[in-house]
Structure 1
Amino acid sequence: MQKYSITMRLFHWLTALLVFGLFGVGLWMRSLGYYDPLYQVLPYWHKSVGFLLAGLIVLRLLSRWFSAQPAPLASHKAWEQRLAHLMHWVLYLLLFGLFISGYLVATSDNRPASFFGWFDIPALFTAFENQEDVAGLIHEICAWSLISLVALHALAALKHHWFDRDQTLKRML
Protein backbone atom coordinates (compact mmCIF):
# COMPACT_ATOMS: atom_id res chain seq x y z
CA MET A 1 0.00 0.00 0.00
CA GLN A 2 1.36 3.38 -0.97
CA LYS A 3 0.44 6.05 1.59
CA TYR A 4 0.31 9.77 1.10
CA SER A 5 3.38 11.58 2.38
CA ILE A 6 3.38 12.71 5.99
CA THR A 7 3.26 16.30 4.72
CA MET A 8 0.11 15.67 2.67
CA ARG A 9 -1.53 13.76 5.53
CA LEU A 10 -0.80 16.62 7.94
CA PHE A 11 -2.11 19.16 5.43
CA HIS A 12 -5.26 17.06 4.93
CA TRP A 13 -6.13 16.63 8.61
CA LEU A 14 -5.15 20.17 9.61
CA THR A 15 -7.33 21.49 6.77
CA ALA A 16 -10.23 19.32 7.99
CA LEU A 17 -9.80 20.56 11.56
CA LEU A 18 -9.68 24.21 10.50
CA VAL A 19 -12.63 23.89 8.08
CA PHE A 20 -14.86 22.32 10.74
CA GLY A 21 -13.68 24.80 13.36
CA LEU A 22 -14.25 27.82 11.12
CA PHE A 23 -17.64 26.53 10.07
CA GLY A 24 -18.71 26.03 13.69
CA VAL A 25 -17.43 29.45 14.75
CA GLY A 26 -19.13 31.01 11.72
CA LEU A 27 -22.46 29.54 12.78
CA TRP A 28 -21.89 30.64 16.37
CA MET A 29 -21.04 34.21 15.32
CA ARG A 30 -24.37 34.54 13.50
CA SER A 31 -26.21 33.96 16.78
CA LEU A 32 -24.37 36.65 18.76
CA GLY A 33 -26.07 39.85 19.78
CA TYR A 34 -24.29 43.20 19.55
CA TYR A 35 -23.69 43.33 23.30
CA ASP A 36 -22.37 39.80 23.55
CA PRO A 37 -18.72 39.88 24.75
CA LEU A 38 -17.75 37.58 21.86
CA TYR A 39 -19.32 39.82 19.20
CA GLN A 40 -15.95 41.42 18.36
CA VAL A 41 -13.65 38.59 19.48
CA LEU A 42 -14.96 35.70 17.38
CA PRO A 43 -14.88 37.54 14.03
CA TYR A 44 -11.27 38.59 14.74
CA TRP A 45 -10.26 34.96 15.32
CA HIS A 46 -12.41 33.70 12.44
CA LYS A 47 -10.66 36.08 10.03
CA SER A 48 -7.17 35.30 11.30
CA VAL A 49 -7.67 31.54 11.19
CA GLY A 50 -9.31 31.90 7.76
CA PHE A 51 -6.20 33.69 6.47
CA LEU A 52 -4.07 30.97 8.06
CA LEU A 53 -6.14 28.31 6.26
CA ALA A 54 -5.71 30.20 2.97
CA GLY A 55 -1.93 30.07 3.39
CA LEU A 56 -2.10 26.40 4.34
CA ILE A 57 -4.12 25.60 1.20
CA VAL A 58 -1.60 27.42 -1.01
CA LEU A 59 1.21 25.38 0.60
CA ARG A 60 -0.87 22.23 0.21
CA LEU A 61 -1.38 22.88 -3.50
CA LEU A 62 2.32 23.60 -3.99
CA SER A 63 3.19 20.39 -2.17
CA ARG A 64 0.68 18.50 -4.28
CA TRP A 65 2.17 19.84 -7.51
CA PHE A 66 5.81 19.26 -6.53
CA SER A 67 5.57 15.83 -4.90
CA ALA A 68 4.51 12.45 -6.18
CA GLN A 69 1.02 11.32 -5.24
CA PRO A 70 0.04 7.70 -4.77
CA ALA A 71 -1.53 6.14 -7.83
CA PRO A 72 -5.25 5.36 -7.65
CA LEU A 73 -5.99 1.92 -6.34
CA ALA A 74 -6.48 -0.74 -9.01
CA SER A 75 -9.86 -1.57 -7.46
CA HIS A 76 -11.19 1.92 -8.17
CA LYS A 77 -13.35 2.16 -11.25
CA ALA A 78 -12.57 4.83 -13.86
CA TRP A 79 -15.72 6.80 -12.96
CA GLU A 80 -14.75 6.73 -9.26
CA GLN A 81 -11.32 8.11 -10.09
CA ARG A 82 -12.79 10.89 -12.24
CA LEU A 83 -15.39 11.73 -9.60
CA ALA A 84 -12.76 11.82 -6.83
CA HIS A 85 -10.54 14.08 -8.95
CA LEU A 86 -13.45 16.40 -9.70
CA MET A 87 -14.52 16.41 -6.03
CA HIS A 88 -11.05 17.47 -4.87
CA TRP A 89 -10.92 20.38 -7.31
CA VAL A 90 -14.45 21.50 -6.39
CA LEU A 91 -13.40 21.46 -2.72
CA TYR A 92 -10.40 23.67 -3.57
CA LEU A 93 -12.62 25.97 -5.67
CA LEU A 94 -15.06 26.37 -2.76
CA LEU A 95 -12.18 27.06 -0.38
CA PHE A 96 -10.89 29.82 -2.64
CA GLY A 97 -14.45 31.15 -2.96
CA LEU A 98 -14.51 31.33 0.83
CA PHE A 99 -11.12 33.04 1.01
CA ILE A 100 -11.98 35.67 -1.57
CA SER A 101 -15.47 36.37 -0.23
CA GLY A 102 -14.15 36.40 3.36
CA TYR A 103 -11.46 38.90 2.37
CA LEU A 104 -14.10 41.08 0.67
CA VAL A 105 -16.28 40.99 3.80
CA ALA A 106 -13.33 41.70 6.11
CA THR A 107 -12.12 44.68 4.08
CA SER A 108 -15.47 46.03 2.88
CA ASP A 109 -15.09 49.14 5.06
CA ASN A 110 -11.70 49.91 3.44
CA ARG A 111 -9.85 48.98 6.63
CA PRO A 112 -7.18 46.28 6.72
CA ALA A 113 -7.84 42.93 8.39
CA SER A 114 -5.49 41.92 11.18
CA PHE A 115 -3.67 38.59 11.06
CA PHE A 116 -3.50 37.61 14.75
CA GLY A 117 -2.33 41.15 15.50
CA TRP A 118 1.04 40.37 13.89
CA PHE A 119 0.43 42.35 10.70
CA ASP A 120 -2.40 43.75 8.63
CA ILE A 121 -3.73 42.43 5.37
CA PRO A 122 -4.53 45.59 3.42
CA ALA A 123 -7.86 46.50 1.90
CA LEU A 124 -6.77 46.72 -1.71
CA PHE A 125 -10.09 47.87 -3.15
CA THR A 126 -13.81 48.11 -2.72
CA ALA A 127 -15.04 45.89 -5.51
CA PHE A 128 -18.73 46.76 -5.67
CA GLU A 129 -21.69 48.37 -3.95
CA ASN A 130 -23.05 46.45 -0.92
CA GLN A 131 -19.82 44.49 -0.93
CA GLU A 132 -20.20 43.22 2.65
CA ASP A 133 -23.71 41.87 2.06
CA VAL A 134 -23.06 40.29 -1.35
CA ALA A 135 -19.71 38.80 -0.33
CA GLY A 136 -21.27 37.61 2.94
CA LEU A 137 -23.98 35.76 1.03
CA ILE A 138 -21.38 34.18 -1.28
CA HIS A 139 -19.31 33.27 1.79
CA GLU A 140 -22.31 31.56 3.38
CA ILE A 141 -23.22 29.64 0.21
CA CYS A 142 -19.61 28.50 -0.24
CA ALA A 143 -19.39 27.46 3.43
CA TRP A 144 -22.55 25.33 3.32
CA SER A 145 -21.54 23.85 -0.04
CA LEU A 146 -18.06 23.05 1.27
CA ILE A 147 -19.29 21.41 4.47
CA SER A 148 -21.81 19.37 2.45
CA LEU A 149 -19.16 18.14 0.03
CA VAL A 150 -16.76 17.43 2.91
CA ALA A 151 -19.48 15.24 4.43
CA LEU A 152 -19.81 13.37 1.10
CA HIS A 153 -16.02 13.09 0.93
CA ALA A 154 -15.96 11.54 4.42
CA LEU A 155 -18.83 9.19 3.56
CA ALA A 156 -17.00 8.08 0.41
CA ALA A 157 -13.87 7.34 2.46
CA LEU A 158 -15.95 5.31 4.93
CA LYS A 159 -17.68 3.48 2.05
CA HIS A 160 -14.27 2.51 0.66
CA HIS A 161 -13.12 1.38 4.11
CA TRP A 162 -16.16 -0.54 5.34
CA PHE A 163 -17.91 -1.75 2.18
CA ASP A 164 -15.20 -1.98 -0.47
CA ARG A 165 -12.60 -2.94 2.15
CA ASP A 166 -9.85 -1.19 0.22
CA GLN A 167 -6.94 0.96 1.41
CA THR A 168 -8.33 4.39 0.44
CA LEU A 169 -8.82 5.65 4.01
CA LYS A 170 -5.71 3.96 5.43
CA ARG A 171 -3.52 5.80 2.90
CA MET A 172 -4.54 9.10 4.52
CA LEU A 173 -4.19 7.91 8.14
Structure 2
Amino acid sequence: MAQTPSFATRESYTRTAIALHWLIALLIVCGFGLGWVMTDIPGFTPTKLRYFSWHKWIGVTVFALAVLRILWRATHTAPALPRQMPAWQRSAANLTHLLLYVLMIAIPVSGYLYSSAANVPVVYLGLIPLPRLIAPDPTLKVVLKTIHITLNYGLLALVAAHVAGALKHHWLDRDGLLSRMIPFLK
Protein backbone atom coordinates (compact mmCIF):
# COMPACT_ATOMS: atom_id res chain seq x y z
CA MET A 1 0.00 0.00 0.00
CA ALA A 2 1.38 3.40 -0.96
CA GLN A 3 2.31 5.80 1.80
CA THR A 4 1.05 9.34 1.74
CA PRO A 5 3.88 11.76 0.97
CA SER A 6 4.81 13.85 3.98
CA PHE A 7 6.25 17.03 2.53
CA ALA A 8 6.71 20.15 4.63
CA THR A 9 5.85 22.56 1.79
CA ARG A 10 4.80 22.53 -1.85
CA GLU A 11 4.85 18.99 -3.24
CA SER A 12 5.97 19.58 -6.84
CA TYR A 13 8.55 21.57 -8.71
CA THR A 14 7.29 24.51 -10.76
CA ARG A 15 6.35 23.89 -14.38
CA THR A 16 9.41 25.88 -15.43
CA ALA A 17 11.73 23.75 -13.30
CA ILE A 18 10.16 20.56 -14.66
CA ALA A 19 10.44 21.76 -18.26
CA LEU A 20 14.07 22.77 -17.80
CA HIS A 21 14.87 19.45 -16.08
CA TRP A 22 13.48 17.30 -18.87
CA LEU A 23 14.73 19.50 -21.73
CA ILE A 24 18.26 19.52 -20.32
CA ALA A 25 18.08 15.77 -19.63
CA LEU A 26 17.01 15.08 -23.23
CA LEU A 27 19.77 17.31 -24.62
CA ILE A 28 22.39 15.66 -22.40
CA VAL A 29 21.33 12.19 -23.57
CA CYS A 30 21.45 13.34 -27.21
CA GLY A 31 24.81 15.10 -26.74
CA PHE A 32 26.35 12.10 -25.00
CA GLY A 33 25.03 9.70 -27.64
CA LEU A 34 26.22 11.93 -30.45
CA GLY A 35 29.64 12.27 -28.80
CA TRP A 36 29.88 8.52 -28.51
CA VAL A 37 28.97 7.94 -32.17
CA MET A 38 30.97 10.78 -33.73
CA THR A 39 34.24 9.81 -32.08
CA ASP A 40 34.01 6.33 -33.61
CA ILE A 41 33.70 7.65 -37.17
CA PRO A 42 37.14 7.38 -38.82
CA GLY A 43 38.66 10.37 -40.61
CA PHE A 44 36.99 13.72 -41.25
CA THR A 45 33.86 12.89 -43.19
CA PRO A 46 31.04 15.37 -43.78
CA THR A 47 28.87 13.29 -41.44
CA LYS A 48 31.46 13.38 -38.67
CA LEU A 49 31.91 17.14 -39.03
CA ARG A 50 28.13 17.64 -38.99
CA TYR A 51 27.86 15.51 -35.80
CA PHE A 52 30.64 17.53 -34.16
CA SER A 53 28.74 20.74 -34.98
CA TRP A 54 25.49 19.36 -33.57
CA HIS A 55 27.34 18.13 -30.46
CA LYS A 56 28.73 21.64 -29.91
CA TRP A 57 25.34 23.25 -30.47
CA ILE A 58 23.82 20.89 -27.90
CA GLY A 59 26.61 21.75 -25.46
CA VAL A 60 26.11 25.50 -25.85
CA THR A 61 22.35 25.05 -25.42
CA VAL A 62 22.79 22.88 -22.31
CA PHE A 63 25.12 25.52 -20.86
CA ALA A 64 22.60 28.33 -21.47
CA LEU A 65 19.68 26.30 -20.11
CA ALA A 66 21.74 25.19 -17.09
CA VAL A 67 22.53 28.83 -16.27
CA LEU A 68 18.82 29.62 -16.59
CA ARG A 69 17.96 26.61 -14.43
CA ILE A 70 20.44 27.65 -11.73
CA LEU A 71 19.00 31.18 -11.72
CA TRP A 72 15.49 29.74 -11.52
CA ARG A 73 16.50 27.45 -8.67
CA ALA A 74 18.16 30.34 -6.81
CA THR A 75 14.89 32.29 -6.90
CA HIS A 76 12.39 29.43 -6.42
CA THR A 77 12.53 27.08 -3.46
CA ALA A 78 12.59 23.38 -4.27
CA PRO A 79 9.96 21.20 -2.66
CA ALA A 80 11.03 19.69 0.65
CA LEU A 81 12.26 16.13 0.80
CA PRO A 82 10.04 13.64 2.66
CA ARG A 83 10.39 14.02 6.45
CA GLN A 84 10.93 10.29 6.88
CA MET A 85 13.96 10.30 4.54
CA PRO A 86 17.15 9.44 6.46
CA ALA A 87 19.72 12.22 6.84
CA TRP A 88 22.33 10.35 4.75
CA GLN A 89 19.87 10.13 1.85
CA ARG A 90 19.11 13.85 2.10
CA SER A 91 22.84 14.58 2.04
CA ALA A 92 23.38 12.21 -0.90
CA ALA A 93 20.48 13.79 -2.82
CA ASN A 94 21.74 17.32 -2.17
CA LEU A 95 25.32 16.42 -3.13
CA THR A 96 24.16 14.62 -6.29
CA HIS A 97 22.07 17.62 -7.36
CA LEU A 98 24.94 20.02 -6.67
CA LEU A 99 27.36 17.89 -8.71
CA LEU A 100 24.84 17.61 -11.55
CA TYR A 101 24.59 21.42 -11.69
CA VAL A 102 28.38 21.74 -11.61
CA LEU A 103 28.77 19.24 -14.45
CA MET A 104 26.03 20.87 -16.55
CA ILE A 105 28.28 23.95 -16.55
CA ALA A 106 31.75 22.35 -16.50
CA ILE A 107 31.20 19.90 -19.37
CA PRO A 108 30.14 22.48 -21.98
CA VAL A 109 32.88 24.85 -20.78
CA SER A 110 35.53 22.12 -21.06
CA GLY A 111 34.28 21.22 -24.55
CA TYR A 112 34.28 24.86 -25.60
CA LEU A 113 37.82 25.37 -24.31
CA TYR A 114 38.88 22.11 -25.98
CA SER A 115 37.58 23.42 -29.31
CA SER A 116 39.49 26.68 -28.83
CA ALA A 117 42.70 24.86 -27.90
CA ALA A 118 42.22 22.63 -30.98
CA ASN A 119 41.83 25.76 -33.14
CA VAL A 120 38.31 24.73 -34.16
CA PRO A 121 35.75 27.53 -34.02
CA VAL A 122 32.35 27.10 -32.43
CA VAL A 123 29.62 28.60 -34.59
CA TYR A 124 26.34 28.20 -32.73
CA LEU A 125 23.62 26.81 -34.99
CA GLY A 126 25.94 27.56 -37.91
CA LEU A 127 25.04 31.26 -37.53
CA ILE A 128 26.68 32.80 -34.45
CA PRO A 129 30.46 32.55 -34.16
CA LEU A 130 31.43 32.35 -30.50
CA PRO A 131 34.64 34.05 -29.36
CA ARG A 132 37.74 32.06 -28.56
CA LEU A 133 38.53 32.19 -24.87
CA ILE A 134 42.01 30.71 -25.22
CA ALA A 135 44.61 30.56 -27.96
CA PRO A 136 45.21 27.35 -29.89
CA ASP A 137 47.51 25.10 -27.86
CA PRO A 138 48.24 21.47 -28.85
CA THR A 139 49.32 20.50 -25.31
CA LEU A 140 46.30 22.08 -23.65
CA LYS A 141 44.09 20.50 -26.32
CA VAL A 142 45.03 17.01 -25.08
CA VAL A 143 44.45 17.97 -21.44
CA LEU A 144 41.07 19.59 -22.15
CA LYS A 145 39.94 16.63 -24.26
CA THR A 146 40.75 14.29 -21.37
CA ILE A 147 38.95 16.56 -18.91
CA HIS A 148 35.89 16.78 -21.18
CA ILE A 149 35.68 13.00 -21.60
CA THR A 150 36.29 12.31 -17.90
CA LEU A 151 33.62 14.80 -16.82
CA ASN A 152 31.16 13.18 -19.22
CA TYR A 153 31.71 9.75 -17.72
CA GLY A 154 31.33 11.29 -14.27
CA LEU A 155 28.02 12.76 -15.41
CA LEU A 156 26.95 9.37 -16.73
CA ALA A 157 27.62 7.82 -13.30
CA LEU A 158 25.78 10.62 -11.49
CA VAL A 159 22.79 10.41 -13.80
CA ALA A 160 22.65 6.65 -13.23
CA ALA A 161 22.70 7.23 -9.45
CA HIS A 162 20.07 9.97 -9.78
CA VAL A 163 17.74 7.76 -11.82
CA ALA A 164 18.33 4.76 -9.52
CA GLY A 165 17.51 6.90 -6.49
CA ALA A 166 14.35 8.26 -8.10
CA LEU A 167 13.18 4.76 -9.05
CA LYS A 168 13.99 3.45 -5.56
CA HIS A 169 11.83 6.18 -4.05
CA HIS A 170 9.03 5.45 -6.51
CA TRP A 171 8.94 1.64 -6.40
CA LEU A 172 10.39 0.71 -3.01
CA ASP A 173 9.76 3.66 -0.70
CA ARG A 174 6.55 4.72 -2.45
CA ASP A 175 6.98 8.18 -0.97
CA GLY A 176 5.75 10.21 -3.95
CA LEU A 177 9.16 11.77 -4.53
CA LEU A 178 9.26 11.00 -8.27
CA SER A 179 5.86 12.59 -8.82
CA ARG A 180 7.39 15.97 -7.95
CA MET A 181 9.21 15.92 -11.31
CA ILE A 182 6.66 13.79 -13.17
CA PRO A 183 3.29 15.19 -12.02
CA PHE A 184 1.16 12.70 -13.98
CA LEU A 185 2.40 9.93 -11.61
CA LYS A 186 0.23 11.33 -8.81
Provide TM-score, normalisation by structure 1: 0.93
Partner of 1:76: 85
Aligned length: 173
Tell me what 2:76 maps to: 67
Identity over the aligned pairs, expressed in percent? 36
Aligned to 2:164: 155
Report the Cα offset of residue 128 of structure 1: 5.6
Deviations 1:18-46 (A, max 9, x none): 11111110000111011533121000110
Report the RMSD for the aligned CA atoms in angstroms: 1.6
Which letter does structure 2 place at the counterpart of 1:87?
Answer: T
Q: Distance in 2 between matches of 1:106 and 1:129?
A: 11
User: Residue 118 of structure 2 contacts residue 136 of structure 2 at CA under 8 Å; is this kept in 1?
Assistant: no
Q: How many angstroms does 1:141 deviate by?
A: 0.4
For residues 1-173 of structure 1, the aligned pairs below 5 Å read 2-110=11-119, 112-126=121-135, 130-173=139-182
Q: State the distance in 1 between where 2:136 and 2:80 align.
A: 42
Q: Give the Cα separation in 2 of the matches to 1:111 and 1:139.
A: 15
SS in 2 for 1:40: helix
> Counterpart amino acid of 1:72?
L
After superposition, the C-alpha distances for 1:33-90 in whole angstroms (9 at most, x for unaligned) are 1153312100011001100110000000000001122111112112111110011111
Tell me if the contact between 1:95 and 1:142 (Cα under 8 Å) persists in the aligned partners.
no
Give distance in 1, aligned partners of 2:127 and 2:46: 23
Q: Aligned partner of 1:89: which letter?
A: L
1 CA distance for matches of 2:102 and 2:72? 17
Contact 1:111-1:122 within 8 A present in 2 as well = no
TM-fit CA distance, 1:146: 0.2
Q: 1:159 to 1:124 in 2, by over 3 A?
A: same
- Matched residue type, 1:166: D
SS at match of 1:123: coil
Letter in 2 for 1:57: A
* Contact 1:102-1:135 at 8 Å conserved across structures: yes
User: Contact 1:72 / 1:81 at 8 angstroms: preserved in 2?
Assistant: yes
| TM-score between both structures, scaled by the size of structure 2 | 0.87
Give the Cα–Cα distance (whole angstroms) in 1 for the partners of residues 136 and 122 of structure 2: 16
**Letter matched to residue 117 of structure 1:** G
Residue 8 of structure 2 corresponds to none
Equivalent pair of 1:114/1:121 in contact (CA under 8 Å): yes
Q: Is the contact between residue 47 and residue 106 of structure 1 (CA under 8 Å) also seen in structure 2? A: no
Distance 1:127 1:164 in 2: 52
2:83 maps to a residue whose letter is A
Q: Secondary structure at the match of 1:52?
A: helix
